[in-house]
């Protein structure tokens, strides 16, 4: 069948803990890389939506040969690096409000490190090899170690903070949302196996779901033909708007319960590649499975595949 006459599908993919088998090194499982490239070759839309900034997303984007819209900072920065006519969307934060949140005694006692950044600059409280590699801080035009609050612009694009090994991630995220939901959006995701989770704060109304909705309209993709794949709390919002919501085998139980498909395979085992290949063999079967699960409020469990 001619590519132009085939149905197109939109795959919204998270990176850390999902596409990447090793976040610190930016590595992908061969099956995942192969399946994504297959989907691209067949004319489907593959979009990365990640908590990472563009500078640490770029090597993966280029390795996969993508030319699509990217959502960085969980959708706070939406742009198309391959299309100069695409007008980027950037959502800024109010620095004073962010410092107010970070100074909350409940939040402050869980924080182990903080990074504040804007276009072309980053200030990191203290050196952290893992955090720096995942976010590519050293590639920023102006990277400073040590927070100099009197020299930070009032409109940063992102706040990132690491938490302690003992932190209850779900409890802290819930507290932030309930206490400061009018000031920002709060996400948590994995930097990789053996590493502490990272939290980020974006502008009110910014999340991965909003990015997916934009992508559906921009590429003219029907809701039934949308698939999101992720592993963390920052992926939950897009699980609610796509027809098929795929949770990785390495996801927490709370996240798996929201998905319509739960993989046995983890990011290290090429779970993304496994599902994309399975989906492309029989898209209608997979679409109908997820629609049935969404329409059945009595069945709260996702299919194990």
* pTM confidence score: 0.90
Task: Please state the rounded mean pLDDT for residues 138-160.
Answer: 85
pLDDT at 2: 44
pLDDT at 303: 59
- Backbone φ and ψ for 75, nearest 5 degrees, come out as 105, 0
Burial class (CB in 10 A: 0-12, 13-18, 19+), 7: middle
Task: Please state the rounded mean pLDDT for residues 160-170.
Answer: 94
Q: Does the pLDDT of residue 297 top 50, yes or no?
A: no
Q: Is 14 a catalytic residue?
A: yes
Structure tokens at 42: 């067949």
The answer to whether 259 and 245 have CB atoms below 8 angstroms apart is yes
pLDDT, tens digit, for every residue of 70-124? 999 999 999 999 999 999 999 999 999 999 999 999 999 999 999 998 878 899 9
Domains, the chain: 3-89+206-304 (3.40.50.1000), 95-202 (3.30.1240.10)
Q: Quick check: helix, strand or coil at residue 138?
A: helix
Q: Quick check: helix, strand or coil at residue 293?
A: helix
Cα–Cα dist 97/95, whole Å:
5
- Choosing from 14, 31, 231, 235, the catalytic residue is 14
Burial class (CB in 10 A: 0-12, 13-18, 19+), 130: middle
Q: Does the pLDDT of residue 300 top 70, yes or no?
A: no
pLDDT at 67: 97
Q: Does the pLDDT of residue 152 top 50, yes or no?
A: yes
Task: Please state the rounded mean pLDDT for residues 241-261.
Answer: 95
- Backbone φ and ψ for 161, nearest 5 degrees, come out as -140, 140
């Amino acid at each position: 069948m001619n590519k132009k006459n085939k149905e197109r599908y939109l795959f919204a993919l998270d990176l850390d803990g999902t596409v990447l088998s090793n976040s610190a090194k930016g590595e992908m499982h061969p099956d995942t890389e192969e399946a994504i490239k297959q989907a691209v070759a067949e004319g489907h839309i593959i979009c990365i939506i990640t908590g990472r900034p563009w500078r640490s997303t770029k090597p993966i984007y280029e390795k996969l040969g993508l030319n699509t819209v990217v959502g960085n900072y969980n959708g706070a920065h939406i742009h198309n690096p391959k299309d100069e006519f695409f007008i980027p969307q950037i959502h800024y934060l109010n620095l004073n409000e962010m410092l107010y949140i970070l100074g909350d005694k409940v939040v402050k006692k869980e924080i182990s490190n903080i990074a504040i950044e804007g276009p072309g600059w980053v200030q990191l409280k203290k050196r952290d090899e893992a955090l720096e590699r995942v976010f590519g801080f050293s590639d920023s035009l102006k990277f400073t170690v040590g927070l100099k609050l009197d020299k930070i612009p009032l409109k940063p694009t992102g706040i990132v903070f690491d938490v302690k090994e003992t932190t209850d991630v779900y409890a802290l995220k819930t507290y932030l949302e309930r206490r400061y939901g009018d000031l920002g959006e709060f996400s948590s995701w994995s930097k990789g196996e053996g590493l502490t989770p990272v939290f980020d704060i974006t502008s009110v109304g910014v999340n991965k779901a909003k990015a997916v909705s934009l992508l559906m309209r921009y590429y003219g993709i029907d809701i039934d033909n949308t698939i999101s794949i992720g592993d963390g709390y920052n992926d939950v919002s897009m699980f609610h708007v796509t027809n098929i919501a795929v949770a990785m085998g390495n996801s927490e139980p709370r996240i798996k319960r929201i998905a319509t498909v739960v993989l046995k395979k983890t990011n290290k085992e090429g779970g993304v590649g496994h599902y994309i290949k399975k989906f492309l063999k029989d898209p209608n079967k997979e679409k109908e499975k997820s629609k049935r699960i969404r329409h059945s409020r009595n069945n709260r469990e996702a299919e194990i595949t």
